[in-house]
Structure 1
Amino acid sequence: MASPKISLRGVTKAFGPKKVLQGIELDVAPGESMVVIGGSGTGKSVLLKCILGLLKPDQGSIKVDGEETRGLSDRDRARIMRKFGMLFQGGALFDSLRVWENVAFGPIQSDGMPADQAREVAVAKLGAVGLGPEISDLFPSELSGGMQKRVALARAIAREPEIIFFDEPTTGLDPIMADVINDLIVKSVSSLGATAISITHDMASARKIGHRIGMLHEGKLIWQGPVADIDHSGNAYVDQFIHGRAEGPIRMQVRKL
């Protein structure tokens, strides 16, 4: 087996008395698409932020291409971050920048690419997600939610990253547009040969974009396996979550009226 692209061992993170991650063990192979599912507040976003270095884990090891990323200098952190692209929840486009400037933000700001060349890159990446050059000079507010998400995907792949993170990529989209985005994610990851980690509540999305699924519950990855195995995981927590049942071992905090 090839060495993992991303490897986590014993990763913990707490905020005061609240233990958010409790000993995460995870390997993601090169070119693999890993999807992490779980309820709100289970630590999915914290997990991504720890891998990206936006948060410092309290304990454990996080390796990218075999290199330990904890405690890196700013220069080495920047070098590692060059490998990453990210599709943020809600898109997180810059309202004051035109569409092409949003897509070209990384090439211009991080790579020092001249604006005219960066615009050509932006138009090409917009084309890759099914958007024509005529939208390049529009502002995000002039686009539908689905088009904004596609622009955000174009931005995520603009620097042709080796690793892409998808944070709730279909949130706020109708089922048809969500499926369009899922198809584009699969196509984009495949064409780049990228490694992907996605976090989502959307099981239709998880099944479509993932090779493997892991479930995070109370700060622990309680199950991992191929997408095809999730319907017969033998795990009561996984079974309750994927079928959206109120009754089961996962207890929602609901205040009695």
Structure 2
Amino acid sequence: MAEHTAALPKIRIQGLTKSFGSNHVLRGLDLVIAEAESVVVIGGSGTGKSVLIKTISGLMDADGGSVEIDGTDVLSLPASERRTMMNRFGLLFQSGALFDSLSVLDNVAFGLVEAQGMPRRQANEQALDYMAQVGLESDVGAMYPGEISTGMRKRASLARTIATRPDVVFFDEPTTGLDPIMGDIIDELIVKCVQEFKITALTITHDMDSARRIGDRIAMLYDGKIIWQGPTAEIDNSGNPYVHQFINGLEDGPIELVTSRA
């Protein structure tokens, strides 16, 4: 255990706060993620999971606290240096967020061409390789997002996310909108990609089946803070009444229904 704690974590979040007027969404959140570790943050709708990812990834400014990547607090960097740091991140949006006007191949190659300046032919070759990694045939590359199924769009989004070989990937509700079988497949692909490319992954979800498949460790967000975290195998015996109520879908318990938080 001493060796693990002595190593510099890939991500260290300390005292992270974010409010929208009087709505205090993140209230001094702390979380540490080791390099090549897959951590899943669970919590009900409206508990701030999406706000957490947006503030860590730079899509939204935090009010306070720090987010260290490899020991560097990205929140305190000048804008230009922060953008450079953010280029090391990948984000798989809940909706997939493919560009409707681009073919699947151009979508997957987008980051290689636009962010990394790779020549189009080389980018297309690499994009086809990553499409194959997620089980998409090459002929799908000529199709457009509106012409393929929801599951195929999610696969294409995953291929685009990993194509730039990010150090860190954020997965936003990766199985939302998918049937249970396709949800299983997407989770397996995420695990495969994270392990094969040694990616540090932070996933947010309310889907406990997905959380168990993806996470090395699970943390629960409630009332703006992480109230429990531990190895995935220990969550059923957490001893935490909030966790027990959430993972078992119980109506009775300490969790208050949240309807007004982001």
| TM-score exceeds 0.5 | yes
Partner of residue 200, structure 2: 195
Aligned to 2:61: 56
1:22 corresponds, among 27, 37, 40, to 27
Which of 121, 125, 128 is the equivalent residue of 1:123?
128
Q: Which runs of 5+ in 1 are unaligned?
A: none
The reply to whether residue 5 of structure 1 matches residue 10 of structure 2 is yes
SS at match of 2:14: strand
1:161 corresponds to which residue?
A: 166
Structure 2, unpaired ranges of 5+: none
**1:82 corresponds to which letter in structure 2?**
N
Q: Which amino acid aligns with 1:140?
A: P
**Is 1:45 aligned to residue 50 of structure 2?**
yes
CA distance in 2, matches of 1:59, 1:251: 26
- Residue 78 of structure 1 and its aligned partner are, at CA, apart by 2.0
The normalised TM-score by structure 1 is 0.97
User: How far did residue 77 of structure 1 move?
Assistant: 1.2
Question: Cα deviations across residues 185-211 of structure 1 (Å, max 9, x unaligned)?
Answer: 000000110100000011011001100
The aligned counterpart of 1:152 is 157
CA contact under 8 A between 2:134 and 2:159: conserved in structure 1?
yes
Further displaced range: 74-83 or 227-236: 74-83
Give the root-mean-square deviation of aligned CA atoms.
1.0
For residue 147 of structure 2, what is the amino acid of its counterpart? E
CA distance in 2, matches of 1:22, 1:74: 24
Q: TM-score, normalised by structure 2?
A: 0.95
**What percentage of residue pairs aligned between the two structures are identical?**
55
The equivalent position to 1:134 in structure 2, one of 139, 145, 148, is 139
For the residues of structure 1 that align with 2:241 and 2:69, how far apart are their CA atoms? 32
The one-letter code matched in structure 2 to 1:213 is: I
| Residue from 76, 90, 94 that aligns with 1:89 | 94
Residue 90 of structure 1 and its aligned partner are, at CA, apart by 1.5
Aligned match of 2:231: 226
* Structure 2 partner of 1:181: 186
